Amino acid sequence: MDGSFGNFFEIARIQSEVNRLFDVLLQNRSTEGEGTHPWLPNVDVCETEDTVVVRCELPGVPREALRLIAQGSTLLVSGEKAPVHPGGDAKFHCMERSTGSFQRVVHLPPMVNTRGARAQLDNGVLTVVLPKVSNRRGEEFSIPVEEV
C-alpha cells in the first residue's frame, strides 16, 4: 500500500471514530431517563488484495437478532442483545456489560461489491467479507489522436 492510500485510510479511520463519538452522544441524549442504554459494538475494517473485511464484536448477540444492510458505500449493522437477569432473588452489585439495541454504520471503501458480500457469526465476532470490484476509473490509457 503506498503512502497516499495510507493517508486516506488514516483519515477514514479518524472520520469513523468521530462518527462513532457523535452516534454515542446522540443515542445517549435520546435515551436519557428511559432506563436503557444503547451500545455500539467495536468494528475493524481491513483490506486484502481481493476483499474488504469488516469484523464486529457482538458478544452475546444471537444470529437471529442481527440485521445487516449494505447500501452504496455503507454497511448498517443492527440488532439487540437481551438483558441478563440474575435469577431468583439475586441482585446486581455491578453491571457493566451493555445490553439493548444497537446500530452501527460502517463506511466502506467505494471499490466493494456489496451484492457479493457474505457474513458469518463465530464466537461473538461478526465477519463480513465484501469482494472488491476492479476499479477501471482512474486507470491510465492512451487516446489516439486522429488527423483531420
Lowest-confidence region among 31-40, 55-64, 135-144:
31-40
Predicted local distance difference test score (pLDDT) of residue 4: 60
Residue 139 has pLDDT above 70, yes or no: no
Of residues 145 and 143, the one with the higher pLDDT is 145
Give percent of the chain with pLDDT exceeding 90: 36
How far from the centroid of its chain's Cα atoms is residue 74's Cα? 8
Predicted local distance difference test score (pLDDT) of residue 41: 92
pLDDT band with cut points at 50, 70 and 90 for residue 26: low
Predicted local distance difference test score (pLDDT) of residue 30: 46
Spell out the SS3 assignment of the chain: CCHHHHHHHHHHHHHHHHHHHHHHHHHHHHCCCCCCCCCCCCEEEEECCCEEEEEEECCCCCHHHEEEEEECCEEEEEEEECCCCCCCCCCCCCCCCCCEEEEEEEECCCCECHHHCEEEEECCEEEEEEEECCCCCCCCCCCCCCCC
Q: What is the mean pLDDT of residues 22-28?
A: 64
Angular region, 26: left φ>0, alpha ψ -120 to 50, beta rest:
alpha
Closest CA to 39 of 120, 93, 123, 95: 95
Q: Cell numbers for 89, please give them.
A: 432473588
In angstroms, the first-to-last Cα distance of the chain is 44
Cα four-point dihedral sign 81, 40, 131, 114: positive
